């Protein structure tokens, strides 16, 4: 089998979930004798472009002639059985979908977020959940400056999605949608996507061996809770700060970077029990997670299939999460973690303190988390699902 895998990376060295999934899945396919051709771009190209270049790239979000031609030529040359698209926005544009269909190649798309419902992909307006644009009236984005807090940029993005909504691009040019959780599926069905074309498949992480005797070369407490990931609004960073304002006796180690890292760093300086490490290389980050008591994950948006949750379970760590999106599906309350209503600071505080003061309960939940990982998120099961999706799509 031959697969053309396509992706728009966020930034160089990005730790974004969809970037990691693209890397993990393509390697997994190759390790299982599938010939993979990769076609990808990075948003660094926009950052590095001059003024004229940025204008040209922005205009091509509607239809990129360059990537349309490149993908079409690549398909003709490589003759893949399947084109698997991960993220196409903003640089690749929906034109690549037409390039694949015009060459009569079957298209599978992994939906890592809610982009087809909310062009910003977060389903957030500020800090509130919002799926209003599921009705196709994307121009409301201009009023609320949804995209990068800019009316102009919001107008451009709204027009791109309005145009392709009217052309039914996302309905007709994709043969199979891989969704990452039930909530995501329901959101798509509610706006007219064909349920028969939707398949649920979780992400996976390799079962990485971590040395329990590894010596961490960063000064942190012996016992601690941990948060790691993007330091951004959607991950519940402001919520995390409010929670730890009330948990000043429980050590919290935080790892990651993002748009709110300066604000978070300033806050952390005044919190004796908060240890903000910034970006930590992945291997050392995983060591710190493995040696933590549990993982706190107060996300306020629809996580697709959070790598944080899966990695934590891989290492046998209980999780305290928001009862929303993938986390609501992945965590069985009291079994492998604790679920908290969206935005409920007091409940987070109460449950975190309860878990902190109950090491045996924490250990028990961690063991159950590991069982859950073994049942759902291992590479061996994932490759079988992926090949089955490809074969069924190709033969449909």
C-alpha 229/C-alpha 221 separation (Å) is: 20
Residue 255 CB contacts under 8 Å (≥ 6 apart), including other chains: 226, 227, 228, 277, 278, 279, 280, 285, 288
pLDDT on residue 211: 58
pLDDT digits (tens, 9 = 90+) for 270-279: 999 999 999 9
Coil/strand/helix, residue 358: coil
What is the CA angle 325-383-208, rounded to 5?
75
Across the chain, mean pLDDT equals: 95
Band of pLDDT at residue 209, cut at 50, 70 and 90: low
Band of pLDDT at residue 318, cut at 50, 70 and 90: very high
Q: Residue 285: is its pLDDT beyond 70? A: yes
**339 phi and psi angles, rounded to 5 deg:** -110, 135
Coil/strand/helix, residue 177: strand
Band of pLDDT at residue 210, cut at 50, 70 and 90: low
Closest CA to 389 of 6, 84, 142, 124: 84
Q: Residue 220: is its pLDDT beyond 70? A: yes
Of residues 208 and 192, the one with the higher pLDDT is: 192
pLDDT digits (tens, 9 = 90+) for 64-102: 999 999 999 999 999 999 999 999 999 999 999 999 999
pLDDT on residue 215: 64
Q: Is 256 left (phi over 0), alpha (psi -120 to 50) or beta?
A: left
- In this prediction, residues 136-140 reach a mean pLDDT of 97
pLDDT on residue 61: 96
pLDDT on residue 218: 82
Q: In the numeric block, which tokens belong to residue 195?
A: 């349920």
Place of tokens 């660094």: 44
- In this prediction, residues 287-316 reach a mean pLDDT of 96
pLDDT on residue 225: 98
pLDDT on residue 212: 59
CB 285 within 8 A of CB 257: no
Place of tokens 């407490």: 221
| Number of residues that this document lists for the chain | 396
pLDDT on residue 16: 84
Band of pLDDT at residue 208, cut at 50, 70 and 90: confident
C-alpha 210/C-alpha 206 separation (Å) is: 12
Q: Does domain 2-112+175-204+379-395 correspond to CATH entry 3.30.70.60?
A: no
C-alpha 173/C-alpha 175 separation (Å) is: 7
Q: Residue 371: is its pLDDT beyond 70? A: yes
Q: What is the CATH number of domain 225-376?
A: 3.40.50.2000
Kindly report, as residue ranges, where domains of CATH 3.40.50.2000 are found in the chain.
2-112+175-204+379-395, 225-376
Q: Give percent of the chain above pLDDT 90.
A: 92
CB 123 within 8 A of CB 117: yes
On the 0-12 / 13-18 / 19+ scale of CB atoms within 10 A, 272 is: exposed
The DSSP 8-state label assigned to residue 333 in this structure reads B
What is the CA angle 85-87-92, rounded to 5?
90
pLDDT on residue 122: 94
pLDDT on residue 102: 97
């Amino acid at each position: 089998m031959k697969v053309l895998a396509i992706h728009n990376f966020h930034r160089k060295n990005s730790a974004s979930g969809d970037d990691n999934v693209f890397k993990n899945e393509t390697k997994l396919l190759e390790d299982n004798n599938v010939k993979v051709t990769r076609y990808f771009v990075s948003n660094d190209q926009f950052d590095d472009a001059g003024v004229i270049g940025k204008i040209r790239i922005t205009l091509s979000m509607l239809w990129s002639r360059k990537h349309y031609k490149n993908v079409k030529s690549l398909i003709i040359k490589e003759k893949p059985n399947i084109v698997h698209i991960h993220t196409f926005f903003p640089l690749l544009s929906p034109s690549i979908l037409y390039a694949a269909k015009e060459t009569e190649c079957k298209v599978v798309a992994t939906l890592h977020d809610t982009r087809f419902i909310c062009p910003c992909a977060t389903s957030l307006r500020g800090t509130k959940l919002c799926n209003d644009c599921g009705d196709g009236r994307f121009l409301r984005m201009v009023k609320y400056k949804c995209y990068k807090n800019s009316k102009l940029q919001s107008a451009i993005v709204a027009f791109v999605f309005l145009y392709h909504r009217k052309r039914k691009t996302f309905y007709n040019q994709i043969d199979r949608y891989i969704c990452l959780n039930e909530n995501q599926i329901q959101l798509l069905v509610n706006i007219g996507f064909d349920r028969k074309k939707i398949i649920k498949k979780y992400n996976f992480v390799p079962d990485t061996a971590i040395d329990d005797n590894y010596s961490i070369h960063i000064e942190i407490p012996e016992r601690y809770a941990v948060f790691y990931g993007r330091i951004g609004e959607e991950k519940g960073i402001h919520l995390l700060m409010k929670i730890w304002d009330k948990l000043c006796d429980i050590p919290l180690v935080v790892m990651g970077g993002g748009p709110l890292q300066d604000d978070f760093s300033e806050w952390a300086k005044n919190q004796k029990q908060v240890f903000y490490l910034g970006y930590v290389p992945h291997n050392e980050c995983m060591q710190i997670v493995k040696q933590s008591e549990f993982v706190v994950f107060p996300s306020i948006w629809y996580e697709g299939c959070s790598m944080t949750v899966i990695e934590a379970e891989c290492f046998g760590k209980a999780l305290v999460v928001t009862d929303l999106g993938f986390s609501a599906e992945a965590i069985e309350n009291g079994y492998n973690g604790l679920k908290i209503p969206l935005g409920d600071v007091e409940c987070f505080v109460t449950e975190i303190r309860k878990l902190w003061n109950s090491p045996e309960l924490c250990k028990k939940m961690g063991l159950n988390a590991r069982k859950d990982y073994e049942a759902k998120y291992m590479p061996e099961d994932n490759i079988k699902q992926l090949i089955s999706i490809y074969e069924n799509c190709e033969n449909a």
